[in-house]
Structure 1
Amino acid sequence: MTISRTHIRRGSLITAVLALISSAFLVLPANADPVPFEDCPQGRFCLYDGSGGSGTRTDVAEGAKDEQYAGTVLSVKNNTRMWACVYTANQYGGSLQTVKPGNADAYVTDGVRWVVSSYKLVPTRALCFTGYERCENGDVCTFAERGGRGAMTVHVPAVDPATRNLGNSYGAEVAPKSVWNRTGKHLCFYLQPDYTGTWTGDDKKTYGAYVVLRGDSITIPGTLAGEFRSHELVNGTSECQ
Structure 2
Amino acid sequence: MTAVLALLSAAFLVLPANAEPLPFDDCPAATLCLYSGTDGSGERRDFTDAQSAEAYDAGWDDRTLSAKNNTKGWACLYVDAGYGGLLQTIKPGNSDEYQTSDTRFVRTLSGHKVVPTRALCFTGYERCPDNRVCTFPQENGRGPVTVHLPSTDPAGKNYGNSYGTEAAPKSVFNRTGKHVCFYPEPSFSGTWTDDDPARTKYGAYVVLRGDSTTVPEPFADTFRSHELVNGTTECQ
User: 1:42-89 deviations in whole A, cap 9, x for unaligned?
Assistant: 211111111110012222211210111121221110011011111011
**Residue 8 of structure 1 aligns with which residue?**
none
Aligned mates of 2:69, 2:171 — CA distance in 1:
30
Aligned residues: 228
1:25 is displaced (CA, Å) by: 2.5
Residue 78 of structure 2 is matched in structure 1 by: 87
Correspondences of 1:201-240 after superposition (within 5 Å): 201=194, 204=198, 205-240=200-235
Report the CA distance between 1:28 and its aligned residue: 2.6
Alignment of 1:104 onto 2:91: no
Distance 2:40 2:47 in 1: 15
Query: Match of 1:46?
Result: 33
Q: Counterpart in 2 of 1:6?
A: none
- Conserved in 2, the CA contact under 8 Å of 1:172 and 1:226? no
Aligned AA (1:41): P
Structure 1, gaps ≥5 residues long: 1-10
Conserved in 1, the CA contact under 8 Å of 2:32 and 2:46? yes
SS at match of 1:221: coil
- Aligned amino acid, residue 135 of structure 1: C
Equivalence for 2:64: 73
What amino acid maps onto 1:107 in structure 2?
Y
Q: Which residue is equivalent to 2:156? A: 163
Output the amino acid matched with 2:157.
Answer: R
Number of the residue aligned with 2:177: 184
The 1-side partners of 2:38 and 2:89 are apart by 17
**What stretches of structure 2 of length at least 5 have no aligned partner?**
none
CA shift, 1:188, in A, is: 0.5
User: Which among 10, 23, 26 is matched to residue 23 of structure 1?
Assistant: 10
Deviations 1:211-237 (A, max 9, x none): 000110111114322111111111100
Q: Over residues 147-191 of structure 1, what are the superposed CA-to-partner deviations in whole Å (9 max), with x where a residue is unaligned? A: 111111111122223322111111343311111101111000111
Task: Quote how far apart the aligned CAs of 1:200 are.
Answer: 3.2
TM-fit CA distance, 1:201: 4.2
Q: Is the 8 A contact 1:107 1:115 kept in 2?
A: no
Deviation at 1:202, TM superposition (A): 6.6
Name the CA shift for 1:23/1:172 in 2 (closer, same or farther; >3 Å): farther
**1:34 maps to 2:17:** no
Matched, 1:55 2:42: yes
Distance in 1, matches of 2:194 and 2:218, equals 9
User: In the aligned structure 1, how far is the partner of 2:48 from the partner of 2:69?
Assistant: 10
Q: Does 1:174 align with 2:167?
A: yes
Per the alignment, residue 146 of structure 1 pairs with 139
- Choose which of 126, 131, 139 in structure 2 pairs with 1:133: 126
Give the TM-score of the pair, scaled to structure 2.
0.89
Over residues 96-148 of structure 1, what are the superposed CA-to-partner deviations in whole Å (9 max), with x where a residue is unaligned? 11110000011222594241211111111111111111111100111111111
